[in-house]
Chain A
Amino acid sequence: MTILAAEGLSIAFGGVRAIDHVSLAVEAGLVFSIIGPNGAGKTTLFNMFSGLYVPQDGHVRLAGEDVTGLAPDRLARRGLARTFQNLQIFFRMTVLENVMVGRHRHETTGIFSDLLHLPSVARQNRKTAEAARAALARVGLAPHGNLPAGGLPYGALKRLEIARALASEPKVLLLDEPAAGCNPVETQELAGIIRAIVKDGVTVVLVEHDMRLVMNISDRIHVLANGRTLAEGTAAEVRASPAVIEAYLGVHGSREAQRAVG
């Protein structure tokens, strides 16, 4: 079943076509990676998937429904979550509170009961904290819940964003360069975390530059260059595609690479 789909998506900024008629379909329960050289439009595509940009042409479908132009909070309510290339951590809050915010979509108390701290709010807080602790445990941050978020090192903040997104119990999780700035050990841990997330039934869409990670965990890879689709297939298919090699290495480099392989 297709859980997330782009149908002829296009968007231009000041005459530059950042995304030009891109179509793709993400199967539920898999890891779907989007790769491409810098400036290919990967994050722009993510921003359209998550409602931050409204596509000028084409449609976005989430679980079969047309969600084009829906606001981010509406999309989140329908089970979409994402992390950010440059961190968007709530630095004034503790690690646990960050993840508790992720539970917002499941919280039911209103502003009046919140002001009066009715028993329902106390119950809600306990449930939220419990679920948030479970999400922290999934990324290995359980012991650090009471630290201020700013006290965590960079790699841990990346995982904190994943935990926060997971706490919302999404159907689709968009990860924007989760391994950027991580050392090899952290990247390896990350691969394990992503595999576990998918095993729990969450579909993962990944934008990533770390090719080892991408080739390792992706079920399907979509290659973008200059806002257009270049290729799509399994890791082996994409790796063998001359168009992809050319996009990454240039015409000269791809000849060199062919000589080296052949």
Chain B
Amino acid sequence: MRALATHRLASLVPIAAIMLVLPLMFPSAYYYRVAALVFIFALAALGLNLLMGFAGQVSLGHAGFLGLGGYAVAIGPTHFGVPPWLCIVAGAALSGLIAFLVGRPILRLKGHYLAVATLGFGLLIAIVLTNEAGWSGGPDGTSVSRLTLFGWRLSSSDAWYWIAGASFLAGATLGLNLIDSPTGRALRAIHDSEVASSLLAIDVARKKLGVFVLSAVYASVAGSYLALLNGHITPDISGFLRSIELVAMVVLGGLGSIPGSLVGAALLVVLPQTLTMLHEYEHMVLGLVLMGFMIFLRQGIVPGLAAFFARWRR
């Protein structure tokens, strides 16, 4: 029993259980849609968390990869006749390749410099998607053909709930595997001391690049799902606010906490939906709630609550 509770993947059991039970309480398809969005953003936040929470590198341009994945499933089927599922894979590969090429020079930078360089990258993608109207449909975006798998046409929200949920669990499994491995230990070491890491034979630049590519692939897949779920895509997917939103999800849920990425995504997806009843005060209340969480649970919601309960039990 104890061995189960301390198992590497133990934190995924309650998440999977909630995922299975939750639909019983959904009064309408709209709830499936919101929950699917939560899992999709959680997947992107999870990848970013591997980069920020474990390796300690900031990216303010991750929505750029969200856009690459999203437009891959928009452009691939219409312009090249590639099936959408293959476009998800191709988009992820392209995002990984671009992350590799962009990451090599910019991951040498640290702190604010890295943040600004990634910010520039995100803006660049957004501008390209807006201006290349022939491919992307310009600022108004373009429609996305639905995903067909084994002859099924997946357009309903409940189908996406299960796809996104299962993908999040798969992504979280890979993430938890990584943390407890030679690569994961090296990344966590880099976070605390690059000098000590390099003198323990860790190739710091290569490890950072590896996790940057990985986080880009997560974001790309999430972007593809988002486009397929909505059936439409605009360059806003790569916007600066989207990038900030992803960072906020990671920090709010807890840097370095994989369940935290889900909690952060859930909060930032669900809260604006429920606050719409406050009309013009919506954004103000949202801002206050975020500030409150950061003031009282500085380590993030999941690690903060875990520490609180650990103290309380003693």
Contacts and interface: CB of A to CB of B under 8 A. Distances in A.
Main secondary structure of the interface of B (DSSP, over half): helix
Interface stretch (B99-107, B153-161, B190-198, B222-230): B190-198
B142 to A, nearest CB: 33
Interface string A43-86: 00000001110000000000000000001110111001110100
B181 A125 contact: yes
A81 B198 CA distance: 10
Interface residues of B, number: 29
Nearest to B56: A92
Nearest to B207: A111
Nearest to A108: B182
A240 interface: no
B177 interface: yes
A116 B198 contact: no
Nearest to A174: B199
Contacts of A88: 192-193, 195-196
Interface in A69-116: 71-73, 75-77, 80-82, 84, 88-93, 97, 100-102, 104-105, 107, 109-111, 114-116
B177 to A, nearest CB: 4
A114 B188 contact: no
B178 A114 contact: yes
Interface in B170-198: 174, 177-178, 180-186, 188-189, 191-193, 195-198
Q: Number of contact residues on A: which range applies? A: 35 or more
Given A104-B182, A109-B181, A125-B181, A92 B191 contact: yes
A114 B182 contact: yes
A95 to B, nearest CB: 13
Given A92-B188, A114-B182, A115-B181, 10 more contacts: A77-B201, A82-B199, A89-B192, A92-B191, A92-B192, A93-B189, A101-B189, A111-B210, A114-B177, A115-B214
14 contacts: A51-B198, A51-B199, A72-B199, A80-B199, A88-B195, A89-B193, A90-B192, A92-B256, A102-B200, A104-B200, A115-B174, A115-B177, A115-B181, A121-B181
Interface of B: 8, 174, 177-178, 180-186, 188-189, 191-193, 195-204, 210, 214, 256
